[in-house]
Amino acid sequence: MEPLTKDFFMEATENCPVIPEIINDEWLGALPESDCEIVYIVYGDICTIPEIVEKVKAAGKMAIVHMDLIVGLSSKEISVDFLKKYTKVDGIISMKPAMIKRANDVGLFTIQRFYLMDRFTYANIEKHIKNCNPDIVEFLPAGLSKVMSFLIEKIDRPVVASGLTQDKDDVMGALKAGAIAVATSNRRVWDC
């Protein structure tokens, strides 16, 4: 497979705007049946993540690891180097600027995640994006379509919505607000 690019990500999410978040081995086993081309891995540890990534790749999917949720990966840049060297990961998700910067340096696709909590968060998003230069930005929770719409107009990056997605209405609301996709661990909406 070719390296994950922003163009591929945009095309893949246009074809399948719901990105599965895989939280356990059972869900990992269901991947071959899915039409999605991109998968978020949000479970595992440093001993199991190489095998989990390998299974995602064997299913013909692009594997994006949420670094902040993998047990044993620290917030040090060496964690990015570990993923690059010992797995076939295509990209990472992180809230940590140092992780995004290092992943960019080693050629991994990057998604910087932001929790939309308060005005302070909003005020700093543009600064963080400019400083870290992620390929994609992810906002949580997905149900804040008015806030997302406002922020999407201010930044120059594609946005994925994530978190607390309950049903197809949440997916459609986020897409209508301008998100290119919705990442969710809620299997009931994977086929929206």
Predicted local confidence at residue 142, as pLDDT: 59
Domain of 17, in residue numbers: 6-189
Q: Is the dihedral of CA 183, 52, 90, 12 positive or negative?
A: negative
Give the chain's domain count.
Answer: 1
- Which of 123, 170, 126, 37 minimizes the C-alpha distance to 112? 126
pTM: predicted TM-score of the whole model, two decimal places: 0.85
pLDDT given for residue 145 in this prediction:
66
Is 72 a member of any domain? yes
Confidence of residue 162 (pLDDT cuts 50, 70, 90): confident
Name which of 18-32, 52-66, 167-181 the model is least confident about: 167-181
DSSP state of 185: S
**For 184-190, what is the mean pLDDT?**
77
Report pLDDT for 22. Answer: 92
Q: What is the pLDDT of residue 68?
A: 94
CA angle 145, 122, 74 (to 5 degrees): 100
Q: What is the pLDDT of residue 55?
A: 95
- Helices 97-105/78-86 angle, 10° precision: 40
Flag whether pLDDT at 39 surpasses 90: yes
* Residue 135 is assigned to a structural domain of this protein: yes
CATH code of the domain containing 176 = 3.20.20.70
Compute the mean pLDDT over every residue in the chain, rounded to the nearest whole number: 86
Q: Is 1 part of any domain?
A: no
Residue range 84-139, pLDDT digits in tens? 999 999 999 999 999 999 999 999 999 999 877 666 666 678 888 888 999 999 87
